[in-house]
């Protein structure tokens, strides 16, 4: 079954430069339809307020490619015009709202309350674990986890939502038919089957540096709130968080060690008014979602992941782990804190590292692994 004239017209408008939903609104009202706008003359489009780049493109727009037509004919592929009732209303607050969105997967995902999780592309192991845990707990409680499919915190957040058999949306800086980054090709395919891929970029658009700030603004606009997990000062995640704040969204940040450079961005956000988040309940309570969603499998009185993981240790190993705390420490410091012999501390730290309770840090130090789960999945 072929595409209608209106669908083909929106395919053209979605590729038109210098065109957003605001610029289209009055022109569509006058033209009556997207097909009518495409068929109108250049003088009429100028009077309707379309920009010079948009008018130049629409004088001789290229026909759709076979690849575009084949893609759009799939039952799981969509081109959502800004006039479509399924187009996300939350994007209405953006200054330059996309004229259309390409979507692949389950459109029902757009009906769930969305929360964005963003952070470093090079997180620590505890940071990735934290993002996974937050996303899993929030998805279990009914929130849709929104992120950008980048390696690092984005990947952990998507995987956390999928582990909960929840909903996740990936906002891309390329066409939805482009698997990027290549390392997340399999994850992208899983999200397409179990969640939703979204992009404002036309099919076949490769990832470019300039596209990711635009992707980030869609993430900020689409979510009702945003959680930042590990971000250095100057990180793109902080730009996304500030964009969310400008749109009136609630921003949450996970605190970390003062010695971890990736905690500084989160601490900066907290100093500037972001809400400190230590658990999913902090977010649910702030957003008044606690009364609408049931508790997850871990109740308020349940053991924390660290307590559960450490419960089977012998006494000396537990003493050593408690002495390490949550900031990096070297072996000499641990010897002073515990009073154990150097060879005993060295041997026990090796065992704790092999069991996944601690990890080696720069400068001969060790740091504790937070939110550890069986199998080390994150």
pLDDT of 171 > 70? The answer is: yes
Which pLDDT score is estimated for 1? 53
pLDDT at 21: 86
C-alpha 76 chain-centroid distance: 22
pLDDT of residue 346: 87
* Rounded-to-integer distance, Cα 251 and Cα 206, Å: 30
DSSP string, 98-151: -SEEEEEE-GGGGGSPEEEEEE-SS--HHHHHHHHHHHHHHHHTTPEEEE---T
Parallel, antiparallel, or unpaired for β 329-330 and 358-361? unpaired
Residues 6 or more apart in contact with residue 129 via CB below 8 angstroms: 156, 369, 370, 371, 372, 373, 378
Assigned CATH for 107-286 = 3.40.50.450
* Residue 144 bridge partners (DSSP): 114
pLDDT of residue 329: 84
Pick the CATH number of 305-376 from 1.20.1250.20, 3.40.50.1970, 2.60.40.150, 1.10.10.10: 1.10.10.10
> 8 pLDDT exceeds 90?
yes
pLDDT tier at 336 (50, 70, 90 boundaries)?
Answer: confident
The pTM (predicted TM-score) of the whole model is: 0.78
pLDDT, one tens digit per residue, over 95-129 is: 788 999 999 999 999 999 999 999 999 999 899 99
**What is the arithmetic mean of pLDDT over 85-97?**
88
87 within 8 A of 81, measured Cβ to Cβ: yes
Separation CA 127–CA 133 (nearest Å): 10
Burial of 45 (0-12, 13-18, 19+ CB in 10 A): buried
* pLDDT on residue 88: 93
Whether the pLDDT of residue 234 is over 90: the answer is: no
């Amino acid at each position: 079954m072929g595409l209608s004239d209106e669908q083909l017209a929106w395919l053209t408008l979605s590729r038109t430069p210098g065109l957003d939903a605001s610029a289209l609104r009055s022109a569509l009202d006058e033209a009556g339809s997207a097909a009518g706008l495409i068929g109108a003359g250049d003088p009429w489009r100028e009077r309707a307020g379309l920009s010079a780049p948009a008018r130049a493109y629409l004088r001789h727009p290229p026909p759709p490619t076979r690849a575009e037509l084949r893609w759009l004919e799939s039952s799981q592929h969509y081109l959502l015009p800004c006039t479509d009732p399924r187009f996300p209303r939350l994007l209405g607050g953006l200054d330059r709202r996309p004229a259309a969105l390409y979507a692949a997967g389950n459109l029902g995902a757009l009906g769930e309350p969305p929360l964005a999780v963003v952070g470093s592309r090079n997180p620590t192991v505890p940071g990735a674990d934290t993002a996974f845990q937050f996303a899993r707990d929030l998805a279990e409680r009914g929130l849709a986890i929104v992120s950008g499919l980048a390696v690092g915190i984005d990947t952990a957040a998507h995987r956390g939502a999928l582990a909960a058999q929840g909903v996740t949306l990936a906002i891309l800086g390329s066409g939805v038919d482009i698997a990027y980054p290549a390392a997340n090709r399999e994850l992208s395919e899983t999200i397409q089957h179990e969640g939703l891929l979204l992009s404002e970029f036309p099919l076949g658009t490769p990832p470019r540096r300039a596209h990711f700030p635009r992707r980030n603004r869609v993430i900020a606009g689409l979510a009702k709130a945003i959680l930042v997990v590990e971000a250095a000062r100057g990180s793109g995640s902080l730009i996304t968080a500030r964009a969310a704040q400008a749109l009136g969204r609630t921003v949450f940040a996970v605190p970390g060690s003062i010695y971890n450079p990736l905690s500084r961005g989160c601490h900066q956000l907290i100093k500037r008014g972001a809400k400190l988040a230590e658990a999913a309940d902090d977010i649910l309570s702030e957003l008044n979602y606690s009364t609408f969603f049931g508790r997850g499998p871990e109740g308020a009185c349940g053991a924390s992941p660290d307590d559960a993981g450490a419960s089977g240790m012998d006494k000396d190993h537990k003493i050593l782990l408690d002495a390490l705390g949550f900031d990096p420490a070297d072996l000499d410091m641990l010897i002073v804190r515990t009073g154990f012999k150097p060879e005993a501390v060295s041997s026990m730290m090796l065992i704790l590292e092999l069991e996944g309770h601690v990890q080696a840090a720069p400068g001969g130090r060790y740091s504790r692994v937070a939110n550890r789960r069986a199998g080390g999945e994150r």
